[in-house]
A = this chain, B = another copy of it.
Amino acid sequence: MQKNTKHRVTMKAVAKQAGVSQTTVSYVINGVTSANIPEETRQRVRDAIKALGYHPNAAARKMRTNRSHLIGFITDEIATTPFAGQIFKGAQAAAWASGKLILLSNTDNNTDLEQAAVEAMLEHQVEGIIYAAMYHRQVEPPKALYEARAVLLNCFCADRSLPSVVSDEVGGGRMATEVLLRKGHRRIAFANHTASDPGVIGRLEGYKQALAAYGVPFDEALVCVDIGQADGGYRCAMRLFQQPDRPTALFCYNDRMAMGAYDALRKLKLSIPDDVAVVGFDNQEIIAAHLHPSLTTLELPHYALGKWAVEYLLAHIGEEYPLAPVQHMIGCPLVERESA
């Protein structure tokens, strides 16, 4: 354990240890192949680097190569959803595969902080910026984002002027409903969230598409709208399943509403899945896997979204900005458990 703050190992020391010039060390570190340095010499330099614990100075290297090897990553509300971790992991996997590190800033949707974060990242000469939303929505990206190579993650802007990757809400809603249709259900209720975000609109659209594909007429009376939390799901289920001619299945906008619906169905003495089959959305592990019975649900592809965003950025790192505004969509996989 070295008590040392001033004597960081220098390139000079590496050169001395390897018996070569500093220029040779620099060539080896920066992978300059045109320099024609024999492999045996390269190995000697690498050994010296290892033996001395030398860390090439990234700032100095950046000055020479004009590559910072940094990617900026801006999130809106990292602490309010459990999804940030998977989004970040996907992004990091792609970044690390190319030797990049991630500068992370959380802005809590504060416009001034967003602008400041982008500017601070540009000052650090990031090679690109990922702008990530924790739930799928339309955003108004900070203006400074147009001065960088930027990709929108789990969000999109109104004029589609920046590349974007989001989950396929319509496909997810369709699959959730099809799971129930395939099991023979025809009176399928839908507890939706009171909002007009892409998840709400898309999942309802998917629900309708699936019903149509099976020749089941859409019945407005089977759709209940309330807040997208346990309480909202509870109230929706109480309203939908007290009717004598009640539905036999329930698709919930998210797992939290399903959690509340479970309480209501239990209160109504209806068993899951025998009396009522239930399908959720989000695969919020802590809820979905641990309800009794465990919840069949659709998974949001957060890891894949994070990975795609960074891969797209890195694939276009040499190009002008803003990058070509591809609008990419990734499917939501079904997670079958016991509730349907």
Separation of A55 and B60 alpha carbons in the complex (Å) = 18
Name the interface residues of A36-66: CB closer than 8 Å to any CB of B: 53, 55-63
State the oligomeric state as a number of copies.
2
B56 touches A123 (CB 8 A): yes
Q: Which of B79, B122, B319 contacts A55, CB < 8 Å?
A: B122
* A68 in contact (CB, < 8 A): yes
* A35 in contact (CB, < 8 A): no
Contact with B along A125-155 (1 / 0, CB 8 A): 1000000000000000000001100000000
Separation of A85 and B259 alpha carbons in the complex (Å) = 23
* A196 in contact (CB, < 8 A): no
* A121 in contact (CB, < 8 A): yes
* A120 in contact (CB, < 8 A): yes
Output the least CB separation between A217 and chain B (Å). Answer: 34
Separation of A300 and B284 alpha carbons in the complex (Å) = 21
Query: Which residues of chain B come closer than 8 Å to A85, judged between CB atoms?
Result: 78-81, 84, 106
Binding site for B on A (CB under 8 A): 1-5, 53, 55-63, 68-70, 73, 78-82, 84-86, 88-89, 92, 101-106, 119-125, 146-147, 161, 229-231, 234, 256, 259-260, 263, 266, 284, 286-287, 290, 292, 319-322
